Chains A and B, each alone.
Chain A
Amino acid sequence: MLTIKMKTFAAIISLVILSGCSSSASVQLTNEFPQVLAKPKALSAAVVFEPSFATYVAKPNAKTVIDIGAAQVRLLRNAFAGLFSTLEFVASREEITADNAMVIIPSVREVQVSTPSDNYLNVFEVWIKYNLDLETAEGESIDSWFMPAYGKTPDAFMASKSAAIEEAAIIALRDAGAKLMLDFYRIPAVNNWAAEEQKRARQQQNSIQQAQNAEVSP
């Protein structure tokens, strides 16, 4: 009886050890992201989160699966709120209702993962390579912006590979938000579009004011 119990115990211990040493990782990002601390420009945008983007599941290699779809939508919603005063989030281009808005269509080009056994460093790394297709409301292309994001987390004794990759992926997403806030209006084509839009809005406001003045004056 004791022998059977010992065998069962040994089998459980072996299973626990083997699962701990498992080199595969399946991660789903469920965390929230903080609101960005930035004053948005008086411009409007429509962000198209296509279903393929909103439900994106990355498979950087045969042993790793990272479900980043919902998390990247949450992150970009926050980040764009710090760039544009008027925002519309839609699932397809046909649903856009805003006039004169910049149409932004994000997509994921590639996700890469590197583990301590790959890089011989004590860090897990995640790269997310985004592409933002930027268009006018009329459908003219403004630019196609390549936006890489990077996150890393230190290897910890006895910590699971999944937890380390999850942490690195969250840091990479936060980095994407930081990159967006830092560089979006530095893209020459976006800067030109923003200047044109602000000029057009000023002219429109002036003409409205002139019309009002004309109505008031005898």
Chain B
Amino acid sequence: MKSSTKLIPLLFSVALVGCSATTTIDEYRPTGEAIELDANERVVVLGRRDAGHYETDREFIGCIGDKMRSADIQVLPEQEFIDAIYPWFEPRTAPKGLPRLKRLMQDASVKTQVDKRNVRYLVWLDGSTETLDSGGSISCAIGPGGGGCFGFAQWDKVSVYEAIVWDLNELTEKGRLRVDSEGTSYLIGAVAPIPFLTPVKSDACSSMGNQLKNFFSVTQ
């Protein structure tokens, strides 16, 4: 009886340790001061989509946008910005560096659209979440008498994202952030499949979103 009471908390703690992601954030800013943002100025978060083998997914960009909104930062939806300046922020045409951005902003029609939407800062997000290793096996069967799953499976996930903040007025880079998050998820088949999922991408979003919030200071 005593051993079973010890076993249950032990199993829970093993499960909980297994479900936590390890996240590292690297930050670079030319100055330690927060970026001043007027109450009417807006930020747009854009995903890089020019890499061949992955895409910075819209779900992650939406998550970062929501985190920033929670700090009273006005965030313009990504698609609205891209459509307003079509075709100059498509994967083929989007500026990859500041020299190209400067040339683009010299175009009066582009500048007008940016100013019309009060977009002051642009945050480029680049990265993806990938499954690295997976092991074990789980099999499920169903028959007239019932069904169930038996076995054990595990997989490692890693999220690597980089954010670069550009000032669209001064046409300068205001800082960079990189987040690395990794963790292992498990699926135990004991009649019913019991998942222990590590929220790797969600952790990466929370960490990057919170850090980006600290980049900006909204003045009323």
> Residues on A close to B: CB < 8 A?
33-39, 79, 121-123, 152-154, 156, 171, 174-175, 177-179, 181-182
Known contacts A174-B87, A181-B87; decide if A37 and B109 are in contact (CB<8 Å): yes
A179 to B57, CA, bound (A): 23
- In the bound complex, residues from chain B placing their C-beta under 8 Å from that of A171 are 91
Q: Contact: A178 with B93, CB < 8 Å?
A: yes
- In the bound complex, residues from chain B placing their C-beta under 8 Å from that of A79 are 87
> Residues on B close to A: CB < 8 A?
49, 53-55, 57, 83-88, 90-93, 109-110, 113, 128, 130
A-B contact pairs, 12 of them (CB 8 A): A36-B86, A36-B87, A37-B86, A39-B109, A122-B130, A154-B128, A174-B90, A175-B92, A178-B87, A178-B90, A181-B93, A182-B87
A174 to B87, CA, bound (A): 8
- In the bound complex, residues from chain B placing their C-beta under 8 Å from that of A33 are 86
The 4 closest A-B pairs by CB, nearest first: A178-B87, A34-B83, A34-B86, A178-B90
Q: Of all chain B residues, which has the CB nearest A32?
A: B83
A153 to B53, CA, bound (A): 10
Q: Contact: A154 with B57, CB < 8 Å?
A: yes
Main secondary structure of the interface of A (DSSP, over half): mixed
Looking at the assembled complex, report how far the CB atom of B103 sits from the nearest CB atom of chain A, in whole angstroms: 13
A36, A39, A152: which contacts B55 (Cβ < 8 A)?
Answer: A152
A34, A154, A175, A182: which contacts B91 (Cβ < 8 A)?
Answer: A175
Looking at the assembled complex, report how far the CB atom of A114 sits from the nearest CB atom of chain B, in whole angstroms: 12
A79 to B88, CA, bound (A): 12
Q: Contact: B86 with A179, CB < 8 Å?
A: no
Looking at the assembled complex, report how far the CB atom of B155 sits from the nearest CB atom of chain A, in whole angstroms: 13
Q: Contact: A123 with B55, CB < 8 Å?
A: yes
A33 to B84, CA, bound (A): 11
A188 to B87, CA, bound (A): 22
Q: Contact: B54 with A177, CB < 8 Å?
A: no
Please name 9 further chain A to chain B contacts, defined as beta carbons within 8 Å, in addition to the given A34-B83, A34-B84, A122-B130, sorted by A numbering. A35-B86, A79-B87, A123-B55, A156-B57, A175-B92, A177-B90, A178-B90, A179-B92, A182-B93
A154 to B109, CA, bound (A): 32
- In the bound complex, residues from chain B placing their C-beta under 8 Å from that of A154 are 54-55, 57, 128
Q: Of all chain B residues, which has the CB nearest A82?
A: B87
- In the bound complex, residues from chain A placing their C-beta under 8 Å from that of B91 are 171, 175
- In the bound complex, residues from chain B placing their C-beta under 8 Å from that of A35 are 86
- In the bound complex, residues from chain A placing their C-beta under 8 Å from that of B130 are 122
Known contacts A37-B109, A39-B109, A182-B93; decide if A177 and B55 are in contact (CB<8 Å): no
A79 to B85, CA, bound (A): 13
